Amino acid sequence: AQSVTQLDSHVSVSEGTPVLLRCNYSSSYSPSLFWYVQHPNKGLQLLLKYTSAATLVKGINGFEAEFKKSETSFHLTKPSAHMSDAAEYFCVVTGGNAGNMLTFGGGTRLMVKP
Amino acid sequence: KAGVTQTPRYLIKTRGQQVTLSCSPISGHRSVSWYQQTPGQGLQFLFEYFSETQRNKGNFPGRFSGRQFSNSRSEMNVSTLELGDSALYLCASSSQAGVYNEQFFGPGTRLTVL
């Protein structure tokens, strides 16, 4: 069994300030973890993925995430927010015999103030 | 390469009717997964098909069914529609069925049940 908890449903930051979106996971297997972004009326786009290689994962658009097994966390960060980062972000887990069956967190809506 | 395409993009039906949604994966991709996105339940896995065989199924009633054709295109069908079936239905494709596969999402079909 696996599950994902995104600790904040909404996060608001000012443009140019750091972004932190928090995610905790639970998995009976060695997990694969992903962050996806969804802009309004668009499909989901993969930001980055962790698949048991380096624990610090770099993604697109300056985002990165660190896998911490001891804390069962996979928080998403970005040093400086841009207006175009405003969107909904999903932390996702899969693993074991789940194959391509992704388990999504509830999502975090990121708002960026000018 | 063309991305994942879903048709139709928008659909309005009434309770009791049935509906068929279509998904064309990226060329060469053989795995197609379906997800339901609602404000209340978030993103939930419906089922995955690989080489015309259902590999995984989520926790949805039997009214939800799907199939995959030899060209990897997939359809999902919902019979006896209920108001709660109103949702964005997302399709994702990947090159193979397995744990470490990036899934590419289509823009979705927005179904409204009146």
SS (HEC) of A24-49: EEEECCCEEEEEEEECCCCCEEEEEE
Q: What pLDDT does B98 receive? A: 66
Tell whether B90 lies on the interface with A, counting CB pairs under 8 A.
yes
Task: Give B101's contacts in chain A (Cβ within 8 Å).
Answer: 100
* Angle subtended at Cα A93 by Cα A90 and Cα A97, rounded to the nearest 5 degrees: 150
Given a contact cutoff of 8 angstroms between Cβ atoms, the answer to whether A32 and A51 are in contact is yes
Q: What pLDDT does B100 receive? A: 62
Kindly report which listed range (A47-61, B9-23, B40-54, B93-107) carries the lowest average pLDDT score: B93-107
Which has the higher per-residue pLDDT, A57 or A99?
Answer: A57
Tell whether A59 lies on the interface with B, counting CB pairs under 8 A.
no
Amino acid at B19: V
Kindly report which listed range (A75-89, B20-34, B97-111) carries the lowest average pLDDT score: B97-111
Q: Count Cβ atoms within 10 A of the Cβ of residue B86 and give its class: 0-12 exposed, 13-18 middle, 19 or more buried.
A: middle
| Angstrom distance (rounded) from CA B4 to CA B24 | 6
Kindly report which listed range (A1-10, A37-46, A71-80, B35-44) carries the lowest average pLDDT score: A37-46
Average of per-residue pLDDT across B36-45: 93
- CB within 8 Å: B99 and A106: no
Which has the higher per-residue pLDDT, A29 or A109?
Answer: A109
Chain-wide mean pLDDT for chain B? 93
Quickly state the pLDDT bin for A28 (edges 50, 70, 90): confident
Contacts of B62 (CB under 8 A, 6+ apart): none
Task: Give B100's contacts in chain A (Cβ within 8 Å).
Answer: 32, 51
Q: What pLDDT does B99 receive? A: 60
For tokens 């896995």, what's the residue?
B45
Q: What pLDDT does B7 receive? A: 97
Task: Tell me the backbone φ, ψ of residue A83, rounded to 5 degrees.
Answer: -55, -35
Instruction: Please identify among residues 70-89 of chain B the ones whose CB lies closer than 8 Å to any CB of chain A.
Output: none
Average of per-residue pLDDT across A44-61: 90
Confidence check: pLDDT of B76 > 90: yes
Tell whether B98 lies on the interface with A, counting CB pairs under 8 A.
yes
Amino acid at A1: A
Q: What pLDDT does B44 receive? A: 95
